Amino acid sequence: MHIAECTDQRQWDDYLASQRYRPFLQSWTMGEVYRDIGQKPVRLGMHDDKGLAGICQAIVVPARRGRHLAVSYGPVLSSHLSGISSQLFEALRETAKEHQCTFIRLSPFWPAADAPHISGSLPSPLHLLAEHLWYIPLKNPDAWHAPTPYPQHPSPSVSEDSILSSMRKTTRNLIRRAERDGVTIERSADPVADLPAFITLHDETRKRHGFTPYSNAFFESQVKRFSARNECTLYKAHFEGKIIAASIHMHAFAETSYHHGASTHAYAKIPASYLLQWTAIRDALRRGDRVYNFWGISPEGQRKHPFAGVRLFKTGFGGNLLELMHCVDVPVERSYYLTRGFETLRKWHRGF
């Protein structure tokens, strides 16, 4: 196995598009988003005698609590590889040392049931990304459990009627009620120009729910870069001449992800978000996407979990749960344990 830094975007994204799991956070474009906000991407490729056999995009995060190397939903490995190879592990350690990082934080997109142990790792005090994903399979068979070659021989899409019939009755009724109430959903023709409207709603939403938001610079870069590739849609829900809800959906590698959402509390009784999601699901079907990913929900029964408030909303659309392995840390310097202590306290405060 030979590991080297990748410089070919097409080779990188073509490899990602051919895998069973294709998280857009490991895409080349996402690395450029982080570069725009001052966090350097490092892209390592694993090569064997058959060619590219794995990719791992790591981001140098200059956090005050501890400079570290973050691997978001990676590495992505071919099916004949199991776990993280010792060569890749050493390459990540060397990269972390080169950039004066005190630890490596890995949050692989690997099902928890068969995730391998990563040598030298510790369970992270905090999650890096959602680890309980709710999703709707849009192809039959389900691409995340019975993968088919991509993009050759695509499976037929499921029907809108079958998705509607799988929803909770209340969810179907709220979608129809939003339509009767006069809610309309607009797909932004210029997401960059319409982003300020989303940010205004998002700022209200994060104050209402008390979560730590992405920076405006992050939103601006992500929307600019992905929309330029036709891989991002900004939806706006209108009611009585006002935008009362909005969302940013990513659609790359035949998968749609509900990545950011926002709404105003002034119209809390108008179910605009239900119609907005249904519009995005129908768009994903028309594109021929194989998965609609709602992203994170709380584990069943955990009422104090920060994602508990969206569990009922997301699961009401029907679908499946995918549980990913918990985020792990690999210490590089002893000062990591100071960061670990600080984050353990933060975990307790946040309710995880």
For residues 352 and 346, give the distance between their C-alpha atoms in angstroms, rounded to a whole number: 9
pLDDT-derived band of residue 330, with 50, 70 and 90 as boundaries? very high
Q: At what angle do helices 216-228 and 191-209 cross, to 10 degrees?
A: 140
Please state, in angstroms and as integers, the Cα–Cα distance from residue 62 to each residue in 25, 124, 140, 340, following that order. 19, 18, 43, 16
What type of residue is 173?
N
The residue among 148 and 267 whose pLDDT is bigger is: 267
Residues 2-129+325-350: name the CATH superfamily: Gcn5-related N-acetyltransferase (GNAT) (3.40.630.30)
pLDDT digits (tens, 9 = 90+) for 268-310: 999 999 999 999 999 999 999 999 999 999 888 888 777 878 9
Res. 143: pLDDT tops 90: no
Tokens of 275: 């119609």
Q: How big is the CA angle at 120 (ends 87 and 54), to the nearest 5 degrees? A: 35
Q: 189 — phi, psi (to 5°)? A: -80, -20
Measured torsion, CA atoms of residues 18, 21, 24, 27, in degrees rounded to the nearest 10: -50
Crossing angle of helices 28-36 and 216-228, in 10° steps, is 140
More confident residue, 84 or 86: 86
Quote the distance between the C-alpha of residue 88 and its chain's center: 23
Asked whether residue 64 carries a pLDDT value surpassing 90, the answer given is no
- Across the range 73-82, mean pLDDT stands at 82
When the candidates are 1.10.3720.10, 3.30.930.10, 3.30.470.10, 3.40.630.30, the CATH number that belongs to 134-323 is 3.40.630.30
CA distance 3 to 178: 52
Model confidence at 228: pLDDT above 60: yes
CB 36 within 8 A of CB 43: no
Place of tokens 């490899």: 15
Please give the model's pTM, rounded to 2 decimal places: 0.93
Check residue 27 and report its DSSP letter. S
Residue 150 has pLDDT above 50, yes or no: no
Angstrom distances, CA of residue 295 to CA of 8, 89, 122, 212: 29, 27, 24, 17
Q: In whole numbers, what is the pLDDT of the chain averaged over residues?
A: 92
Rounded to 10 deg, the angle between the 169-181 and 272-287 helix axes is: 100
Domain pair 2-129+325-350 / 134-323, same fold:
yes
- Give the model's pLDDT for residue 81: 63
In the prediction, which pLDDT does 265 show?
Answer: 93
Query: Parallel, antiparallel, or unpaired for β 68-72 and 103-107?
Result: parallel
Q: What is the pLDDT of residues 163-217, one digit of tens each?
A: 999 999 999 999 999 999 999 999 999 999 999 999 999 999 988 877 777 999 9
What are the pLDDT digits (tens) for 114-128? 888 888 999 999 877
Say what the pLDDT of residue 212 is. Answer: 75
Of the listed ranges 59-73, 89-103, 139-153, the least confidently predicted one is 139-153
Q: For 135-139, what is the mean pLDDT?
A: 95
Q: How far is 57 from 43, CA to CA, in rounded Å?
A: 4
Residue with tokens 């002034």, as numbered in its chain: 266
Report pLDDT digits (tens) over 308-326: 789 999 999 999 999 999 9
Q: pLDDT exceeding 90 applies to what percent of the chain?
A: 77
Model confidence at 67: pLDDT above 80: yes
In the chain, where the domains are located: 2-129+325-350, 134-323
Around Cβ 77, how many Cβ atoms within 10 Å?
22
